[in-house]
Amino acid sequence: MYSDDVFIVSYPKSGNTWSRFLIGNLLHPQEPANFANINRIIPDPEALSVRQLSHLARPRILKSHQYFDPRYQRVIYIVRDPRDVALSQYHFQIKRRVIANGHPVEQFVDRFITGATGIYGSWGENVGSWIATRHASSDFLLVRYEDLITDAIHEMERIAHFLGIAATRQIIAQAVERSSATQMRKLETDQSRMWSTTKDTRQDIPFVRAAAAGGWKSELSEKSVLQIENAWAPLMKWLGYDLLMPARESGELAAAVAMLGAFPK
């Protein structure tokens, strides 16, 4: 690893691929990002050999789902409402044939909370470990998926600034346009067999899904929602996600709230 490496980190299903497209299109206006070249433009180090990694042009922009790793010096962390992450991961695991059509969502959420549905810790462990260790650092940029949805241009300006790129408004607008859900869906239709992440998965379910925030409100049961909120209320509130559960209930997690002192504001 080099000190000028930049890592685009997120828990899985939190908009990492979209962010890769956005940043790829920002850095390489001459080569529009697609599913056939994204692994080369912004590689996932776990998918590359040590030799391939050492041949990348610097500064390297790398993708990762890892929780806190002290070796990552510069980090753009994408965070997404865990209620939407759970839902997205549920659909993705059906696509990947990990679970079957009609698998009970509530059962999935039970396991999602403990981190048993993946290999990168639980959502709270992954997000919490980065925020608690690096939030105050000037080498850490926190980007909410929801803010990217609402105002991609503004978030891209923050990202460009973090990367030290003097990007014109026009380049940013072009990058956003080239990474729109519509554009990515079009590319996926043509290229899903060319991308390692999707080639061996069910082709009847898309990788680029709703590309929206708040799907949990209609698709998760109240029980699942409260379960997720109970697990991570302080962290969710700190991130600005409104909770469904009554305030006094979340207040019972006094110890957890006290822990938030560890997060520099």
Partner 1 sequence: MIYGLKFVMKYAFGLDQAGRNFAVFPDDTFVVSYPRSGNTWTRFLIANLVYPNEDVTFANIEKLIPDTSSISSRSLRRTPRPRFIKTHEYFDHRYRKVIYVVRDPRDVVLSHYDFQRKYRQIDDQYPFENYVDDFVKGNLISKGWGTWGENVASWISTRGNSPDFLLLHYEDMIGDTFRELGRIAQFLGIKASLSLLETAVSRSTADRMRELEKMQSADWVATKKHRKDIPFVRSARSGGWREQLSENSIAKIESAWGELMTTLGYQLASAKLVGAR
- Choosing from 3, 51, 57, 222, the residue that interacts with partner 1 (CB under 8 A) is 51
Tell me how far apart the alpha carbons of residues 82 and 86 are, in angstroms, rounded to a whole number.
6
Nearer to partner 1 by Cβ, of 184 and 231: the residue is 231
- Which span (39-47, 76-84, 155-163, 250-258) binds partner 1, by CB under 8 A? 250-258
Tell me how far apart the alpha carbons of residues 232 and 96 are, in angstroms, rounded to a whole number.
27
H helices within 36-165, ranges in order?
38-41, 50-54, 82-95, 105-114, 123-134, 145-150, 152-163
**71 part of the interface to partner 1, by CB under 8 A:** yes
**115 part of the interface to partner 1, by CB under 8 A:** yes
15 close to 148: Cβ distance less than 8 angstroms: yes
- Which span (142-150, 169-177, 192-200, 254-262) binds partner 1, by CB under 8 A? 254-262
CB of 81 to partner 1, least distance (A): 19
Tell me which amino acid residue 201 is. Answer: T
CB of 53 to partner 1, least distance (A): 12
Nearer to partner 1 by Cβ, of 163 and 259: the residue is 259
CB of 70 to partner 1, least distance (A): 4
CB of 258 to partner 1, least distance (A): 7
**230 part of the interface to partner 1, by CB under 8 A:** no
> What is the contact mask toward partner 1 in residues 118 to 147, using x (rule: CB under 8 A)?
--xxx-xx--xx-xxxx-------------
130 close to 68: Cβ distance less than 8 angstroms: yes
**110 part of the interface to partner 1, by CB under 8 A:** no
- The secondary structure of 7-43 as a DSSP string is EEEE-TTSSHHHHHHHHHHHH-TTS---TTTHHHHS-
Which residues contact partner 1 (rule: CB under 8 A)? 50-51, 67-71, 115, 120-122, 124-125, 128-129, 131-134, 253, 255-256, 258-259, 261-264
